[in-house]
Amino acid sequence: MDRKAVRAWILYDAANSAYVTTMVAAVLPIFYADVAGANLADHLKVSYWGYTQSIGVVIVALLAPVLGAIADVSGRKLHFLRFFTYLGVLATALFVFVGSGDWLLASLLVIAGTVGFSGGNVFYDSMLTDLVPPEKRDMVSSKGYMAGYVGGGLLLAINLLMIQKYEWFGLDSALQGTHLAFLSVALWWFMFSLPIFRHAGPHLPKAQIQARAAGYALAGFRRLIGTFGKIKRFPELLKYLLAFWLFNDGINTVITMATIYGKSIGIGTTDLIAALLITQFVAVPFTLLFGRFAERIGAKAALYVSLSVYVVIISLGYFMTSAAHFYGLAVMVGMVQGGSQAIARSIFSRLAPRRQSAEFFGFLSVSSKLSSSFGPFMFGLASQVFASSRAGILALLVFIVGGMLMLMTVNLTKGEREAEAADRELAAAG
């Protein structure tokens, strides 16, 4: 294992996590509402932001099977990672040219940034198996997540200073501070991505086949359909997958829509960003604590608890009126966000046959991207139809509660037996 290459891989998580914290969760939604969407009604700001998120995710979901096939057989992972990274970096940097009323330009840049970020992750994630031996992947992957939390949180704190204390940076206004924050994300992402481009290349597999783009596309979608056919043979896994699509969509929508929702009901910029910063750092210890909690009461029970907390968060969010309420909900999200996602992934790994885990997890990644487009769309649609963003947040209960009800039908013990039986059959077949 080349330690330089592995450190570079971990560092890339710190690089692109700045996009998530500043551009997806905290600063950009406020900028979209206050500046880009200055000429829009409050509920339309929320609606258009939700639609923009959905469009970006759908594009990524449609591209993912093709990109996955390219990652597997082309031997050009690093080339494509560089392309999508630079696309995301460029889209982020171009926000310095977005002014008052430029909501359409802002929306297009958000979509391009989403494609750059998520498209790049298809290749970045796949590099873990190339750079790290199996027995060390869990630890290296965890270090990547930790670097992402720290890197994203650190730059978000600096961005908050740029906006609130803009005079410290020789600027004339908070708007200039916001533009500088966007530029800092682009530079951060670019600079901390350079090590992986320098050190990872020699350790990646060479091309297995050469094909045209149409060939990759056909291979990718055939594989996706074939994997779904295999998953249908595991009833408990299929039921869990349906549950996951629902509650995961609800969780992701809370992340992407919380800030612009808070802005629409009158919460100040400083409080919104500070609360999201609190969420970032609360999530670090509670992710580990929730893992221990799951060991004590069982993974399924722990997942019920975390989803129940989300029901409370969404319900209280409907009645939220002050910054203090937003701070309280931000802490609650931080307590369950990482834990719920980690446990959900762990349960899926128990229901998937070990010998087909990579294929099944690939399907989970692609399908969950597509399903995640519905939450922001429903949030935006409900806000537009009822002319109130509060209606949008209530729509999220459908996803969380629906996922919990579907989860009740899953028999984990039976599902594990089905996975073990499949492994034995595959082993016997050679």
Question: Residues 246, 285, 139, 198: what is their CA dihedral angle, to the nearest 10 degrees?
Answer: 90
1-229 matches 232-430 in fold: yes
Give the C-alpha distances (Å, rounded to integers) separating 364 from 14, 246, 303, 344, 371.
Answer: 24, 13, 18, 11, 10
Compute the distance between CA of residue 196 and CA of residue 129 in angstroms, rounded to an integer. 15
List, in order, residues 6 or more apart from 83 with CB less than 8 Å away: none
pLDDT averaged over every residue in the chain: 86
Fold of 1-229: Growth Hormone; Chain: A; (1.20.1250)
Report the 10 Å Cβ neighbour count for 8: 22
Answering whether pTM is above 0.85, one says: no
Q: What is the pLDDT of residues 89-115, one digit of tens each?
A: 999 999 999 999 999 999 999 999 999
Q: What is the pLDDT of residues 298-345, one digit of tens each?
A: 889 989 999 999 999 999 999 999 999 999 999 999 898 877 877 887
Residue 352 is classified by DSSP as S
DSSP 37-51: TTTS-HHHHHHHHHH
Domain ranges of the chain: 1-229, 232-430
For residues 85 and 23, the answer to whether their CB atoms sit within 8 Å is no
Which residue reads 């009833």 in tokens? Answer: 235
| Region class of 99: left (phi > 0), else alpha (psi between -120 and 50), else beta | beta
Pick the CATH number of 232-430 from 1.20.1530.20, 1.20.1250.20, 1.10.8.60, 3.40.50.970: 1.20.1250.20
For residues 177 and 269, the answer to whether their CB atoms sit within 8 Å is no
Question: Residues 145, 146, 148, 153: what is their CA dihedral angle, to the nearest 10 degrees?
Answer: 140
Q: What is the pLDDT along the chain (430 residues), one digit of tens a residue?
A: 788 988 999 999 999 999 999 998 889 999 999 999 999 998 899 999 999 989 988 888 887 777 766 666 666 788 889 999 999 999 999 999 999 999 999 999 999 999 999 888 878 877 877 788 867 765 677 677 778 878 988 999 999 999 999 999 999 999 999 999 999 999 999 999 999 999 987 777 665 555 555 666 676 677 778 878 888 889 999 999 999 999 999 998 998 899 999 988 989 888 998 898 888 788 878 877 877 788 888 889 989 999 999 999 999 999 999 999 999 999 999 898 877 877 887 788 788 887 776 677 777 877 887 888 898 999 999 999 998 889 989 889 999 999 999 999 999 999 989 888 887 887 777 5
List, in order, residues 6 or more apart from 121 with CB less than 8 Å away: 16
Residue 117 has φ and ψ, to the nearest 5°, of: -65, -55
In sign, the C-alpha dihedral spanning 235, 239, 244, 246 is: positive
List, in order, residues 6 or more apart from 184 with CB less than 8 Å away: 155, 158, 159, 162
